[in-house]
Amino acid sequence: VERVRRGDRDAYGELVQRYMRPAYSIAWRILENRADAEDLVQEAFLVALERIDSFEAGRPFGPWFYRILWNRGLNARESRSVRETEEIPDAAADPGPGPEELTERRRRRDRLREAMSELTERQRDVVRLHELEGFSSLEIGEMMGLSDGTVRWHLHRAREALRGALAGDGGEDDDGSDAGREHG
């Protein structure tokens, strides 16, 4: 980072190489579009370079950078210029199970999708980053500017709703029904 501050292109290149892929993963989770995610990563690196003097030496670069990425991503998501989300082929198309089991699986996934859509945006983001990208609640907190406790609370509520959906609880008549309320 010190070298980047002095304008060292190679050092900046090293940072880009190291953080480009995880950054893209996060950007994808926010925007769900390949081109938008690439634009976001590109923009976040540039913003990070412009703000590199405010980076506190001795601290890890990742969380600081991901926070920039996250905030820019949220802005992009809110803006109208964001391209449509891409339709990703369902990874569930694995052959093997019989038609009955397949039908049941589809039902479960539909319920899960619905439960996900009923979560607040923040809960969805927390779940995606934790369950799918493998970030800890602390890391998510740093990225999103939330306390660890708040992140864990969102995670807890979201899981409750999603597990309910998987189990076929419906989610309307139980504790999961208010999981979609916004907090923090």
Q: To the nearest whole angstrom, how small is the minimum distance from the Cβ of residue 87 to another protein?
A: 11
| 57 touches another protein (CB under 8 A) | no
Q: To the nearest whole angstrom, how small is the minimum distance from the Cβ of residue 105 to another protein?
A: 9
Q: One-letter amino acid identity for 29? A: R
Pull the structure tokens for residue 65.
């950078």
- Choosing from 91, 95, 99, 172, the residue that interacts with another protein (CB under 8 A) is 91
Q: To the nearest whole angstrom, how small is the minimum distance from the Cβ of residue 101 to another protein?
A: 14
CB 180 within 8 A of CB 161: yes
Give per-residue burial for 96-122: e unless 16+ CB within 10 Å, then b: eeeeeeeeeeeeeeebeeebbebbbeb
| 175 touches another protein (CB under 8 A) | no
Give the x-and-dash track for 11-40 against another protein (CB under 8 A): -xx--xx--xx--xx-xxx----x--xx--
Backbone angles phi and psi of 48, in degrees to 5: -60, -40
**How many CB atoms within 10 Å of residue 16?**
16
- Choosing from 2, 9, 60, 80, the residue that interacts with another protein (CB under 8 A) is 9
- Choosing from 125, 152, 171, 180, the residue that interacts with another protein (CB under 8 A) is 152
Could you identify the residue written with the tokens 């893209």? Answer: 24
| 77 touches another protein (CB under 8 A) | no
Q: At what angle do helices 61-78 and 137-144 cross, to 10 degrees?
A: 60
- Report the distance separating Cα 172 and Cα 165, nearest Å: 10
| 178 touches another protein (CB under 8 A) | yes
CB 141 within 8 A of CB 135: no
Binding site for another protein (CB under 8 A): 4-9, 12-13, 16-17, 20-21, 24-25, 27-29, 34, 37-38, 41-42, 45-46, 49-50, 88, 90-92, 108-109, 112-113, 116, 127-128, 130-133, 136-137, 147-150, 152-153, 155-156, 159, 162-163, 166, 178, 181, 183-184
